[in-house]
Chain A
């Protein structure tokens, strides 16, 4: 299969990337590891005129920890490095464990943390070859005005889901990212980064790219990510559930991936867990309420009913493994 024609540049500095992005705008695509972008280009869901490779910029591969700033991850740090670096295992083992769940070994060596964060949303009707898609009218993500995952009347909403494992855990950890662009540099909480419009998972500007990911230092009593998938060897999650907790501070953060176009978190429900000593009933009620707010449709592997049920099961499992309820 041939890729579409494009030009390729590999700048050696962040400012050169910014200049290229300022000139090319939406005609350009940033390529980190390429494991997502090249597949999209093969399938013609992304057809950039210019691909900007980031592999020639050493500072994007830094990985450091300090008590003051926390863990600083360059966006070009590979998932394999994140999974194996002692600085990650020592301070945020959940990140190392989660990175080792992404794709297969080859994807972990090639794929990067920045690329995982910027993973496009996925859907059975979108992640297909151009020939396959030709039999259907364009959906929202392809510039149309329908969603094929919803039968009957046309849906005004796109139901493609954000499936990034590391991205969802970084969100649960309250990470911030540094965005560089023609307007300079700014630090953005992931909470603001995720959102996007109808079809995008993020608010990344057309002339911006991620130059650092910062996980603030924090005392956690428990942090784990659960990922049921069709084949344990390689697949995207049917759903993902992250629990990041500080029992001492009664701080419980639960993030669900692969159910919405961004990682889903329900702070008002989390607050109910923080008011009293946590009990089994509270956890069951919390899991049931989170599940009731999620809408899954038949657009990734796993039936919608199964995926919703797994959200409920995995939230309860997480709190049980944390040891606060039995």
Chain B
């Protein structure tokens, strides 16, 4: 049960960290890399708050073992803006008022990012399907859907 070294890229930067087998990607991102934009919600894969993009695909960081991330390219909410400028999706969330308490927002934006990777011009129905695994307790979803529509 020794720690082992894993190397991966997060938001374009190379990292090498020592992890136990039982550490999740969520724990490593938040506690070892200090990337607390990825949120811990249910820790059981139900709420989507911890969604990140691994190799272009949406992944629940709470159900991902860090040891399986060797060599992977990972994108988190911190990797979207550049030079202090929000990316179009983040800006659309701001413009549409798609944020209330904000806790679900990083997961929502990362699910939307993964969706747009595969489908740059989704229909409203496709957006609703793509974000269905992300729960929000405040906004009622409409503004979130509007924001993703605006960003496409």
B101 on the A face (CB < 8 A): no
Asked if residues A6 and B58 are in contact (CB atoms below 8 Å), the reply is no
Asked if residues A35 and B59 are in contact (CB atoms below 8 Å), the reply is no
Asked if residues A106 and B43 are in contact (CB atoms below 8 Å), the reply is no
Asked if residues B21 and A6 are in contact (CB atoms below 8 Å), the reply is yes
Q: Chain A: how many interface residues by the 8 Å CB criterion?
A: 30
Q: Hey, which chain B residues are within 8 Å of A6, CB to CB?
A: 1, 21-22
Q: Specify the main secondary structure of chain B where it touches its partner.
A: mixed
A25 on the B face (CB < 8 A): no
Q: Hey, which chain A residues are within 8 Å of B134, CB to CB?
A: 104
Name the residue on A nearest B134 (C-beta): A104
Choice from B24, B65, B115 contacting A8 with Cβ under 8 Å: B65
Q: Which of B19-49 contact A (CB under 8 A)?
A: 20-24, 27, 43-46, 48
Of the four ranges (under 10, 10 to 19, 20 to 34, 35 or more), the interface on chain B belongs to 20 to 34
Q: Which of B24-83 contact A (CB under 8 A)?
A: 24, 27, 43-46, 48, 51, 57-60, 62-65, 67-68
Q: Which of A224-244 contact B (CB under 8 A)?
A: 232-234
Q: Report the minimum CB–CB distance from B17 to chain A (whole Å).
A: 15
Asked if residues B67 and A106 are in contact (CB atoms below 8 Å), the reply is no
Choice from A39, A53, A107, A232 contacting B65 with Cβ under 8 Å: A53
Asked if residues A104 and B1 are in contact (CB atoms below 8 Å), the reply is no
Choice from A31, A39, A51, A233 contacting B45 with Cβ under 8 Å: A39
Asked if residues B65 and A38 are in contact (CB atoms below 8 Å), the reply is yes
Asked if residues B51 and A106 are in contact (CB atoms below 8 Å), the reply is yes
Q: Hey, which chain A residues are within 8 Å of B64, CB to CB?
A: 34, 110
Asked if residues A104 and B44 are in contact (CB atoms below 8 Å), the reply is no
Asked if residues B1 and A5 are in contact (CB atoms below 8 Å), the reply is yes
Asked if residues B68 and A55 are in contact (CB atoms below 8 Å), the reply is yes
Asked if residues A233 and B1 are in contact (CB atoms below 8 Å), the reply is no
A7 on the B face (CB < 8 A): yes
Which one of A4, A10, A105, A234 has the highest number of Cβ atoms from chain B below 10 Å of its Cβ? A105
Q: How far is the CA of A86 from the CA of B27 in the complex (A)?
A: 37
B130 on the A face (CB < 8 A): yes
Q: How far is the CA of A105 from the CA of B22 in the complex (A)?
A: 24
Q: Report the minimum CB–CB distance from B21 to chain A (whole Å).
A: 4
Tell whether A106 pairs with B21 under 8 Å between CB atoms, given A10-B68, A38-B65, A233-B133.
Answer: no
Asked if residues A109 and B59 are in contact (CB atoms below 8 Å), the reply is yes
Asked if residues A106 and B60 are in contact (CB atoms below 8 Å), the reply is yes
Asked if residues B44 and A39 are in contact (CB atoms below 8 Å), the reply is yes
Q: Which of A52-100 contact B (CB under 8 A)?
A: 53, 55, 80
Q: How far is the CA of A3 from the CA of B1 in the complex (A)?
A: 13
Q: Report the minimum CB–CB distance from A266 to chain B (whole Å).
A: 33
Question: A92-125 CB contact bits vs B (8 Å, 1 = yes)?
Answer: 0000000000011111011000000000000000
Besides the contacts A106-B45, A106-B111, A106-B133, what 18 more A-B pairs have beta carbons closer than 8 Å?
A6-B22, A7-B1, A7-B21, A10-B68, A34-B63, A35-B60, A38-B65, A39-B63, A42-B44, A80-B57, A103-B45, A103-B133, A105-B58, A105-B133, A106-B59, A110-B60, A110-B64, A233-B133
Binding site for A on B (CB under 8 A): 1, 20-24, 27, 43-46, 48, 51, 57-60, 62-65, 67-68, 111, 114-115, 129-130, 132-134
Binding site for B on A (CB under 8 A): 1-8, 10, 31, 34-35, 38-39, 42-43, 51, 53, 55, 80, 103-107, 109-110, 232-234
Q: List 13 A-B contacts (CB under 8 A).
A: A2-B27, A3-B23, A10-B68, A34-B63, A35-B63, A38-B62, A38-B65, A53-B65, A104-B132, A105-B111, A107-B45, A107-B133, A110-B59
